[in-house]
Amino acid sequence: MAAMGARLLLLQDAVYFPSYGGGNKANRLLLTALAARCFECHAVSRMPGERRILADRFNAEALAARGIAVEASPNGMSYRHDGVRVEALDLAAPDAAARIAAMIRDVRPDWILVSDDRPAMLLDIALRHAPERVVALVHTHFHLPFGPEAEALNSEQHARLRRVRGVVAVSEYSRAYMRDYGGLDSVLLHFPVFGDGPFDPVARPDAGYVTMINPCLVKGLPIFLELAALFPETRFAAVPTWGGDEAGLRDLALLPNMTLLQPADDVGVVLREARVLLAPSLVPETFGYVAIDAMLRGIPVLAGNLGGQPEAKLGVDFVLPVAPAFKTETGHAAPPQDIAPWRAALGTLLMDGHAYRDCSRASRAAALRFLPETDAGHFVAYLESLQAAGS
């Protein structure tokens, strides 16, 4: 069967909607784009559980308030969003595997997309029921079963990844990681996370916030807090999402020049008031979507130099050094950071209008050149190539 009009089933260990994390947002917008191209799209996602913040945005009542018809079921709920049928399940429930297997039988998908399988369950189910039709989507190395960035090593899960029809990476950094540490070949595809525009240039050298989205330790909260203290006359804004916790919110609230903003489904709403975006991640991310979101609107971005973050800067200035966070028994800890390069770079953008405008123009031009790479047609062509190779 040709890829166009095919049936797709996404299995992901993440909430489908709302999606504030880069990986699950990328998956959601990919399925939305494919549904608009007459694909029949289904998704199995993790049921929202107890969250530290924003808990009221993820339950059935919140979805219903958005006009989404929710059907409750034991250990889960189902709904339709932007042409995609979603089954949200408690993946730890005893019947979760059986329910996913039943859905595979009912949907009879032409392709099963498995994303960031943290419980090492989804890939196993997909391969047992449709071994020739499984594609792995890798958005984070934390959930891979191999290499230094993995949360836990798992030889059985590694063997499963060797059996899939294809592996999709989101950056050259990620492709190299999977090749060097996992012996896996992958294809680089950029997901349609930014929309088609138009992207109004909203950057202003003399107004707006120095903004950070998802302020938490692994995303570089210590750097953000220190910069806010060093520039007391400058307005800063934090947008808490999935990584935020009460301790971080308290630290932010202590700063008189800090404003807390609500996250939005459309990141452009948040960026409308941004002067500079900070993305000082202390862990090696596969790719930094939010940097390009800002650059499309001409907003200068200061980004860390780990993982795929430099790729997301698209060759534009202000990739800055960070000291990586290290793993502990309870999570991550951050070493002391050299704030001097960050202070100098932010000072340049805040005080030199010519430097600001040059960076703004270069950022927007690079992001607009990159945008065609994110068209969903590239993913369609990839599925068609897999289909042709297997026929």
DSSP string for residues in 94-156: TTHHHHHHHHHHHH--SEEEEE--TTS-HHHHHHHH-TTSEEEE-S-STTSSSSTT-SS--HH
Q: What is the pTM of this model?
A: 0.93
Whether residue 152 is found in the same domain as residue 296: no
Range of the domain at 340: 209-372
**According to the model, what pLDDT value does residue 2 have?**
45
In a domain, 201, yes or no: no
pLDDT at 311: 97
Buried b (16+ CB within 10 A) or exposed e, 238-254: bbbbbbbeeebbebbee
List Cα–Cα distances, 167 to 226, 227, 309, in angstroms.
39, 39, 21
Residues 137 and 21 in one domain: yes
Tell me: cis bond preceding 321? Omega within 30 of 0 counts: no
Crossing angle of helices 289-296 and 353-370, rounded to 10°: 110
CB 290 within 8 A of CB 22: yes
Are 229 and 246 in contact by the 8 Å Cβ rule? The answer is no
Q: Is residue 202 part of a domain?
A: no
Show the CA angle centred on residue 157, arms to residues 171 and 105, nearest 5°.
Answer: 95
CA distance linking residue 312 with residue 50, whole number of Å:
32
Cβ neighbourhood burial of 332 (10 Å; 0-12, 13-18, 19+): middle
Q: What is the pLDDT of residue 385?
A: 96
pLDDT tens digits in sequence order for the chain, 391 residues long: 445 579 999 999 998 988 777 888 999 999 999 999 999 999 999 987 655 556 567 677 778 778 888 888 877 889 999 999 999 999 999 999 999 999 999 999 999 999 989 889 999 999 999 999 999 999 999 999 999 999 999 999 999 999 999 999 999 999 999 999 999 999 999 999 998 888 999 999 999 999 999 999 999 999 999 999 999 999 999 999 877 788 899 999 999 999 999 988 889 999 999 999 999 999 999 999 999 999 999 999 999 999 999 999 999 999 999 999 988 877 788 899 999 999 999 999 999 999 999 999 999 999 999 999 999 999 999 999 999 997 6
Q: Report pLDDT for 53.
A: 59
Judge whether 1 lies within some domain: no
Whether residues 176 and 222 share a domain: the answer is no
Local structure of 43: helix, strand or coil: strand
Report strand pairing: 71-73 vs 76-81. antiparallel
215 and 173 both lie in a single domain: no
Residues 188 and 247 reside in one and the same domain: no
Joined together, the tokens standing for residue 367 give: 């992001």
Number of domains in the chain: 2
| Cα torsion angle, 370, 376, 379, 381, sign | negative
Q: Report the pLDDT value the prediction gives residue 73, as an integer from 0 to 100.
A: 81
**Do 176 and 227 belong to one domain?**
no
Token reading at 269: 């709403």
Same domain, 380 and 358: no
CATH number of the domain that 236 lies in?
3.40.50.2000
Question: What is the spatial distance between Cα 354 and Cα 358, in angstroms, rounded to a whole number?
Answer: 6
Q: Are residues 65 and 130 in the same domain?
A: yes
Residue 176 and residue 162: Cα distance in Å, rounded?
Answer: 16
Q: Is residue 256 part of a domain?
A: yes
Both 307 and 172 in one domain: the answer is: no
Write down the pLDDT at residue 330.
72
Q: In this structure, are 386 and 357 located in the same domain? A: no
| Residue 199 domain flag | no
Position 326 scores a pLDDT of 86
Q: Is position 155 within any domain? A: yes
SS3 311: helix
DSSP state of 33: H
pLDDT for res 49: 64
Query: In this structure, is residue 2 part of a structural domain?
Result: no
Question: Is residue 203 included in any domain, yes or no?
Answer: no
* 249 Cβ neighbours under 8 A, 6+ residues apart: 53, 240, 260
pLDDT at 76: 87
pLDDT of amino acid 55: 59
Residues 266 and 318 in one domain: yes
In angstroms, what CA-CA distances link 259 with 144, 152, 303?
36, 37, 21
